[in-house]
């Protein structure tokens, strides 16, 4: 088992938890390893599901006095169990629940009882650099960071199975779309928009699906935890910013499988796109795991200047896979620095060693960037 950064033990001391994340990110493995003596209820087990769906009060009636931590896996399958959980929590303030889920959509849109301040939400991401000892970056840019896939002797086939069996069939099982065929067509085209600014009209033209439905499908990907919309930074006046979000899938390997990419090799255009994707995922995970209330955005002016990521308003990050960052690569960072006070201007690069340019931009090798990020030295 990989050592996970998310400090689930510390979090559950304060409140009950909703632990959300796509399938195979390792939620169950983490919880079973961390809390081997907890009461564990797996709603993927047919007998357990049937009993609790028919008699939800069984949860309350079967709880033993010494059982102070109850884990309910895939709670979105029986969201009314949350009512029983709330009654138990109100009765015993020392009791803790951890609810796992691979979809927030049914919970949030099905008007489920989200325990009104009695539970915190946290997200488990695929493996990040520190959890794999900063190794195997090229492999992760090819096959992604789902633990089972990363360790697989045939990760390409496993990714195909994941895409077909989960991303499509789970959507069908959850009853989220009327036509799985149309959704499958959307998903393949949507994958091509990964790391790009969303254009609903263009995707609509390519799929034959109405633009309104396309917008709903993108939101569904976010609600089911397999996609992120990265909003634009809009606090610039001298250069008018774009107002449309970018889109990122939750894992580089899943994106590669959906796009049917071949091998991604150092120096290729695909390598640069995959590296940008991985940097986004690590930034998103860092902010989530540290529960930092800082916006993660990107900036693009209508005149063509661009910065890949901004963390808050004081750290701007550009990703360039090149082995030598040129002055042209700094244009976006220097442009936004004219409009907002930046503490950090960073280029994540393929260069072999750190340097600071004459313009005050820190150029970091990819490995050094990830180490500084996860050691807490990148920004405060």
Residue ranges of the chain whose pLDDT lies below 70: 106-114, 116, 166-178, 380
Q: Shortest CA distance to 309 belongs to which of 278, 270, 351?
A: 278
Query: How many angstroms separate the CA atoms of 220 and 199, rounded?
Result: 16
Q: Which of 104, 124, 144 is the last residue of a domain?
A: 124
How many domains are contained in the chain? 2
Q: Is residue 380 part of a domain?
A: no
Domain containing 170: what range?
Answer: 130-374
Shared domain check, 102 and 136: no
- Note whether 305 and 332 are within 8 A (CB): yes
Q: Is residue 325 part of a domain?
A: yes
Shared domain check, 146 and 114: no
Q: Is residue 3 part of a domain?
A: no
Query: How many angstroms separate the CA atoms of 56 and 255, rounded?
Result: 39
Q: Which of 124, 140, 161 is the last residue of a domain?
A: 124
Q: Is residue 187 part of a domain?
A: yes
Supply the pLDDT for residue 187: 87
Q: Is residue 1 part of a domain?
A: no
Shared domain check, 240 and 186: yes
Shared domain check, 173 and 80: no
Tokens of 86: 């709330």
- Note whether 148 and 159 are within 8 A (CB): no
Shared domain check, 150 and 82: no
* Residue ranges of E strands in the chain: 16-20, 39-42, 69-73, 96-101, 119-123, 227-230, 246-249, 296-300, 306-311, 315-320, 344-349, 355-356, 362-365
Q: Which of 124, 156, 178 is the last residue of a domain?
A: 124
Shared domain check, 120 and 137: no
Shared domain check, 228 and 353: yes
Supply the pLDDT for residue 111: 47
Shared domain check, 114 and 148: no
């Amino acid at each position: 088992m990989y050592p996970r950064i998310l400090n689930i033990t510390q979090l559950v001391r304060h409140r009950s938890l909703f632990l959300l994340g796509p399938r195979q990110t390792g939620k169950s493995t983490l919880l079973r390893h961390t809390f081997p003596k907890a009461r564990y209820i797996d709603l993927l087990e047919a007998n357990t599901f049937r009993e609790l769906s028919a008699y939800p009060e069984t949860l309350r009636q079967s709880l033993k006095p010494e059982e102070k931590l109850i884990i309910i896996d895939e709670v979105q399958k029986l969201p009314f169990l949350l009512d029983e959980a709330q009654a138990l929590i109100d009765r015993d303030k020392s009791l803790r629940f951890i609810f796992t889920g691979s979809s927030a959509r049914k919970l949030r849109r099905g008007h489920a009882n989200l325990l009104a301040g009695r539970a915190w939400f946290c997200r488990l991401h695929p493996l990040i650099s520190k959890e794999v000892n900063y190794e195997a970056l090229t492999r992760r840019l090819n096959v992604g960071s789902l633990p089972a896939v990363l360790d697989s002797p045939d990760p390409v086939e496993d990714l195909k199975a994941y895409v077909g069996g989960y991303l499509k069939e789970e959507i069908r099982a959850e009853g989220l779309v009327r036509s799985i065929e149309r959704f499958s067509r959307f998903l393949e085209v949507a994958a091509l928009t990964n790391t790009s600014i969303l254009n609903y009209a263009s995707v609509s033209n390519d799929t034959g699906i109405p633009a309104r439905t396309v917008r709903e499908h993108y939101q569904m990907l976010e609600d089911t935890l397999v996609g992120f919309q990265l909003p634009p930074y809009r606090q610039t006046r001298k250069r008018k910013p774009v107002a449309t979000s970018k889109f990122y899938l939750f894992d580089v390997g899943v994106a590669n499988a959906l796009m049917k990419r071949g091998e991604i090799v150092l120096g290729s255009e695909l390598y640069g796109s995959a590296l940008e994707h991985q940097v986004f995922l690590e930034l998103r995970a860092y902010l989530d795991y540290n529960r930092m209330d800082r916006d993660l955005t990107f900036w693009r002016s209508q005149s063509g200047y661009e910065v890949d990521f901004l963390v808050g308003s004081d750290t701007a990050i550009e990703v360039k896979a090149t082995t030598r960052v040129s002055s042209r690569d700094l244009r976006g960072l220097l442009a936004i620095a004219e409009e907002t006070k930046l503490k950090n201007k960073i280029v994540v690069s393929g260069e072999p060693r750190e340097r600071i340019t004459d313009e005050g931009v820190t150029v970091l090798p990819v490995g050094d960037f990830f180490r500084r990020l996860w050691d807490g030295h990148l920004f405060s």
